[in-house]
Amino acid sequence: MTKPILLTGASGNLGRMLAKELSDAGHTLRLTDIAPFPDPLPANCTFTRIDLNEGMRILQVAEGCGTILHYGGIANEQPYEVVLGPNLRGLYHIYEAARREGARVMFASSNHSIGFHNRPSGNAERLDLDCAFRPDGFYGLSKAYGELMGRMYWDKHGVENVNVRIGSCFPKPVNRRMLSTWLSYADLARMMKAIIAAERVGHAVIWGASRNPETYWGKDHRDRIGWAPQDSAEDFRAEVGHIVSDDPVEERYQGGSYTSDGYTRKGGFSPRDQFDLD
């Protein structure tokens, strides 16, 4: 009998979409979020309101699960004290539950863990999975922490995990940057199904983007789960290719507007400009 799947952050846009898609695919789901689930529950789904800071309740709801799809936590840039509880302590509770149950974790990481890398000017400059973390805020910093926690739990406890560095997952791209970073809902759903079904993943990193010709990102571990994106932001070029901001910081770095949020550097964009350093 297939074990249930725990889906955290189920009341968000991505969680709601995935609850329906995975239910339609025949999976049994335990949905959790700190906010109420706003839709009718899909078939084979239960919902429990849980704060990720509540470690014992996370352990209880994860009991018997074979996969944890972790979308819960603060999902945008916030002050450190706001991010700290759900994104750091909460993730610890998820991994402790996975360790106890022998469950696989899918961690919804983000492009904001590497947001201060420059946008590439060609294929040779695309980032591979082993690039340095360069978070563009406290939210991105929490995602880098989460990926490192997955690395530690794999090395120390054998907890399999897939870190998906989600680019821009929306129904369609809304500006020129998203011609590089967009991930369609359908491609995300196909990826989650592949992660659930994969025989073995170890510790894996996957760039969460559709089949976009202008992508910022290169090699990753997608072959381990047998996933290949099918959609492309290129279909929207005429609609959004001209939409850019007037902020030079936002337009220089991969993290977009997150890099300019609270930006106070003077006299240049980065240490490289001023001191010829990375």
Domains and CATH numbers, the chain: 5-244 (3.40.50.720)
Residues of 76-105 as b/e, b for ≥16 C-beta within 10 angstroms?
ebbeeeebbebbbebbbbbbbbbeebebbb
Return all residues near 155 (Cβ < 8 A) that are at least 6 apart: 203
What is the distance between the alpha carbons of residues 106 and 188, in angstroms, rounded to a whole number? 12
CA distances from 224 to 5, 91, 187, 205, 215 (A): 20, 24, 16, 10, 21
Q: How far from each other are the two terminal CA atoms of the chain, in whole angstroms? A: 51
| Average pLDDT, integer, range 73-98 | 97
Residue 263 annotated in active site: no
Tokens standing for residue 2: 């297939």
109-157 pLDDT, tens digit per residue, is 999 999 999 999 876 689 999 999 999 999 999 999 999 999 999 999 9
Strands 104-110 and 67-70: parallel
* 3-class secondary structure, 14: helix
**Do the beta carbons of residue 178 and residue 168 sit within 8 Å?**
yes
pLDDT band at 269 (very low <50, low <70, confident <90, very high): confident
Q: pTM for this structure?
A: 0.95
Q: Which of the following is catalytic: 71, 139, 216, 258? A: 139
Composition of the chain by helix, strand, coil, percent to 5: 40, 15, 45
Please, are residues 25 and 87 in contact by the beta-carbon 8 Å criterion? no
Q: Compute how many other C-beta atoms are within 10 angstroms of the C-beta atom of residue 194.
A: 18
Among 69-73, 123-127, 255-259, the least confident range: 123-127
164-214 residue pLDDT tens: 999 999 999 999 999 999 999 999 999 999 999 999 999 999 999 999 999
H helix intervals, the chain: 13-24, 55-62, 80-83, 90-101, 138-157, 178-181, 185-197, 237-240, 248-252, 257-260, 271-275
pLDDT of residue 125: 85
Q: CA 22 to CA 14: how far, in whole Å?
A: 12
* Residues 273, 118 contacting (CB under 8 angstroms): no
Per the model's pLDDT, the better-predicted residue between 273 and 105 turns out to be 105
Could you give phi then psi for residue 145, rounded to 5 degrees? -60, -45
